A and B are shown apart, each in its own frame.
Chain A
Amino acid sequence: QQQVKQSPQSLIVQKGGISIINCAYENTAFDYFPWYQQFPGKGPALLIAIRPDVSEKKEGRFTISFNKSAKQFSLHIMDSQPGDSATYFCAASRRAGGTSYGKLTFGQGTILTVHP
């Protein structure tokens, strides 16, 4: 079963627009929520991450919003640029304890295209 569900599968925005990608998780033991960015032919790379003790984290044009009660989190890309065109993955894990320790569960991925 897919423990982290991501939407949309693909997203097209104009340069300067806002890109929003959403994720929902099922396991309430998850306590670390990163986003990874992947360019064609490359491996994923960490973009930004959040822990559930805060509701929002911002790094430059990238913001994670986290809603613990709804078990949802989202990535907002402000002033989207053509160079942001990539595949984005949300993910979740738990920091310690239990059989899930050490494992990062990924969403299905979103292909973002930013038109000039």
Chain B
Amino acid sequence: NAGVTQTPKFRVLKTGQSMTLLCAQDMNHEYMYWYRQDPGMGLRLIHYSVGEGTTAKGEVPDGYNVSRLKKQNFLLGLESAAPSQTSVYFCASSPYGGAGELFFGEGSRLTVL
């Protein structure tokens, strides 16, 4: 059973380039999340979705866009990458939202030069 799968696992970008991170879950969960993890900062919520076709801003949404066209997929886009977006990105899904267990992917490490 795959659970939550993130692609790609590693990516190096130049400043100003764009890219999309894909998250796919096979657990039929309603809620999906994108977090970024930086040393000493913990996990900070970028955007989240409470169901297919919905998205909402989290704690640090600037510079990112998301889409949830299908229930099983949650895409995170960077339109014009900046060095400050160098981070490890984690996708998570949950059947009950933030008041229940979140199931995380293994992360996508992004470096912006």
Contacts and interface: CB of A to CB of B under 8 A. Distances in A.
Interface in B29-60: 31, 33, 35, 40-45, 48, 50, 56, 58-59
Interface residues of A, number: 28
A105 B50 CA distance: 16
A88 to B, nearest CB: 11
A73 interface: no
A106 interface: yes
A103 B106 contact: no
Interface string A29-66: 00110101000011111100100000000000000000
B58 A108 contact: no
Interface of A: 6, 9, 31-32, 34, 36, 41-46, 49, 89, 93-96, 100-109
B61 interface: no
Contact of B98 (A6, A102, A108): A102
Contacts of B100: 32
A104 B101 CA distance: 10
Nearest to A4: B42
B99 A94 contact: yes
A73 B17 CA distance: 42
A109 B106 CA distance: 17
A43 B90 contact: yes
B102 A103 contact: no
Interface size class of B (residues with CB under 8 A): 20 to 34
Given A43-B104, A93-B98, A95-B99, 8 more contacts: A32-B98, A43-B90, A43-B105, A44-B104, A94-B99, A101-B97, A105-B45, A109-B43
Contacts of A36: 102
A42 B58 contact: no
A46 B101 CA distance: 6
A43 B13 CA distance: 22
Contact of A45 (B50, B104, B107): B104
B4 A43 contact: yes
A45 B44 CA distance: 16
Contacts of B75: none
